[in-house]
Structure 1
């Protein structure tokens, strides 16, 4: 039996758009809310178009401008939050009056934002959703799914690690958009995805390469191992049981810096993992192409911040944050030569 829950998607960019398209096709009760006026108007006038590896289709969900919520006053059982990490706090405050008494907010975002959401709404209102699909959006009303429908798409979990009825209901809903897994280790999944994003997003932005291309470059593979090693050291110190990072057991990354045999094994797994991730650009690289602020402070910068709190050095991630800011400001341009500017361990 289908769950009849009222769903709002706040942020209809690449990820929010892909999720919205599949939920709308599955006939869920759905309203989209977005900051981009042209996107809202296009969806209402022409529908939301999605192009994937397997198919292309158009759906016609209702889309609202931010200012329309106070007039229409919808109430939602589930809010899927897919805005940028730096928009999390205000977005939660904005949407709070529209959450039903038993409703909750799902962070379908990069980085680790559950604590920010909880600071506004309280922990009982928080569910996490770790994204493992690829997506892009370059024109209003048209999203691209760049990874196969056969690839796992969503890992959802309670911050407490408990198994709950609402997770089962939400998993049923999200299965319309791809393979959905329930985890009792949300934080371990979050840190693993943070590693994947930190290894790819900013590096794609710095170099101009696409996701799959990053894995084919030996210098970038070595750099990725250093990025992940710093993250694993910080995560372990925090007591996080980090899940596999792609295909690689997390604790192999620090070991790879000291053992060439392990390093070769890790690089081989990185290459193999790159064969199934699709042809798109990571979200940070998309933001740079669009002239938008990036989430680097919430990806590599998150590792740096937590490292400072624990007195654990993270020089590679710190250097990547600084260089990404230079590109945001237009002081340097994406290029493979930027790899030479990164301070190494």
Structure 2
């Protein structure tokens, strides 16, 4: 059995770790939130979801980050899953590196594009990527994770595991098999296209939630705010295409259509119609809040520099204008500093 350590037991890490433990996998959660780790040790991870079957409490092995040195006296780590915020990637990878098995590897299971940061510490050969698409989980109290999207949806694959070079290898096949114990999973030969599509989706929603204070359904339901998100997505896809990536769907939106939405009225209308339909079809949308919006509510640092800020940085490097992504990055930074408060008017004035 593979020894798996999940570095960063936030919403995604705790959710996955608990369900893998339920299926008799050798899991250790490693986190720096003291109250969270202690709650898991006392009571386990309490999961709640959209059905009675999704609600359960699972006992999981959990360690404080300060106890990480104890790993030296335990079985080597075969798979280290980094599920931290992007700004914690380097130190988290550096911390777990000494405890890897000879053929052990590190998996980035994060919102943003961090494989290069991980490879800079453990090498490209020990780096694997994994996207969790539309998993919609929230750590709302110590030891308590709520999922706000249905599990096992036939029309949607949650986990996409891939090698940097795009080939299918035994280790990513095994990892996808393990994650299928949690939800739908597949091996992708297009990791970078998957990554940029997820980044584009996050670029449309996360910063907007932080600046406006709105939930997902409210964002899609407001015409002016919705227009702003479409412009964000168009810029993000244009940059990804210029980088040479073959983007997968951005949520349910065809990336080629989204890329034209800032100048083509027909493309814009197609994207808008899909977002409106998604809003009416979405279940429990009143509970959905993108992670950057959650960070603002919790008073935590956001990943905005690794989402919209990253799109803008790459756009500048390529000579592609990204005014909407630049603006939302600045606004989120102002909200973080407390110079402005979350309010939809910040977006509506621009849109």
Range class of TM-score, shorter chain: over 0.9
Aligned pairs for 1:255-270 within 5 A: 255-270=260-275
Residue by residue over 1:238-291, the C-alpha shift from the partner in whole angstroms, topping out at 9 and shown as x without a partner, is 111111111111121232222222211111122334434753211111110010
Q: CA deviation at 1:67?
A: 1.9
- Tell me if 1:167 matches 2:168: no
Aligned pairs for 1:220-239 within 5 A: 220-239=225-244
Determine the C-alpha separation between the residues in 2 that align with 1:256 and 1:233: 10
Residue by residue over 1:78-123, the C-alpha shift from the partner in whole angstroms, topping out at 9 and shown as x without a partner, is 1111100000011111110111111111111111000110111111
Q: CA deviation at 1:310?
A: 1.2
Residue by residue over 1:11-33, the C-alpha shift from the partner in whole angstroms, topping out at 9 and shown as x without a partner, is 11111111112111111011110
Q: Alpha carbon RMSD of aligned pairs, Å?
A: 1.4
Identify the residue that residue 303 of structure 1 maps to in structure 2: 311
Identify the residue that residue 31 of structure 2 maps to in structure 1: 34
Determine the C-alpha separation between the residues in 1 that align with 2:277 and 2:117: 35
Determine the C-alpha separation between the residues in 1 that align with 2:81 and 2:190: 20
Look up the SS of the partner of 2:130 in the other structure: strand
CA contact (8 A) 2:224 2:348 kept: no
CA contact (8 A) 2:85 2:110 kept: yes
CA contact (8 A) 2:71 2:99 kept: no
Q: CA deviation at 1:10?
A: 0.6
CA contact (8 A) 1:246 1:270 kept: no
Q: CA deviation at 1:171?
A: 0.8
Residue by residue over 1:105-164, the C-alpha shift from the partner in whole angstroms, topping out at 9 and shown as x without a partner, is 111111100011011111111111111100101211111111110333211111110001
CA contact (8 A) 2:12 2:137 kept: yes
Task: Please identify, of 284-293 and 267-276, the stretch whose mean Cα deviation from structure 2 is larger.
Answer: 267-276
CA contact (8 A) 1:246 1:273 kept: no
Determine the C-alpha separation between the residues in 1 that align with 2:65 and 2:250: 36
Task: Give unpaired runs (5+ residues) of structure 1.
Answer: none
Identify the residue that residue 183 of structure 1 maps to in structure 2: 188
Identify the residue that residue 210 of structure 1 maps to in structure 2: 215
- Tell me if 1:155 matches 2:157: no
Determine the C-alpha separation between the residues in 2 that align with 1:286 and 1:214: 15
Look up the SS of the partner of 1:177 in the other structure: coil
Per the alignment, do residues 276 and 155 of structure 1 end up closer, same or farther by CA in structure 2, a change over 3 Å counting?
Answer: farther
* Counterpart pick for 2:49 among 40, 49, 52: 52
Determine the C-alpha separation between the residues in 2 that align with 1:189 and 1:273: 21
- Tell me if 1:289 matches 2:297: yes
* Counterpart pick for 2:249 among 239, 244, 249: 244
Residue by residue over 1:199-250, the C-alpha shift from the partner in whole angstroms, topping out at 9 and shown as x without a partner, is 0111011111112222222222211221111112211111111111111111
Identify the residue that residue 4 of structure 2 maps to in structure 1: 7
Task: Give unpaired runs (5+ residues) of structure 2.
Answer: none
Determine the C-alpha separation between the residues in 2 that align with 1:104 and 1:170: 11
Residue by residue over 1:152-192, the C-alpha shift from the partner in whole angstroms, topping out at 9 and shown as x without a partner, is 32111111100011111101110111111211000001000
CA contact (8 A) 2:31 2:65 kept: yes
Determine the C-alpha separation between the residues in 2 that align with 1:204 and 1:144: 19
Q: CA deviation at 1:341?
A: 4.8
Identify the residue that residue 70 of structure 1 maps to in structure 2: 69
Aligned pairs for 1:82-161 within 5 A: 82-132=83-133, 133-151=135-153, 152-161=157-166
Look up the SS of the partner of 1:69 in the other structure: helix
Look up the SS of the partner of 1:247 in the other structure: coil
Determine the C-alpha separation between the residues in 1 that align with 2:191 and 2:221: 30
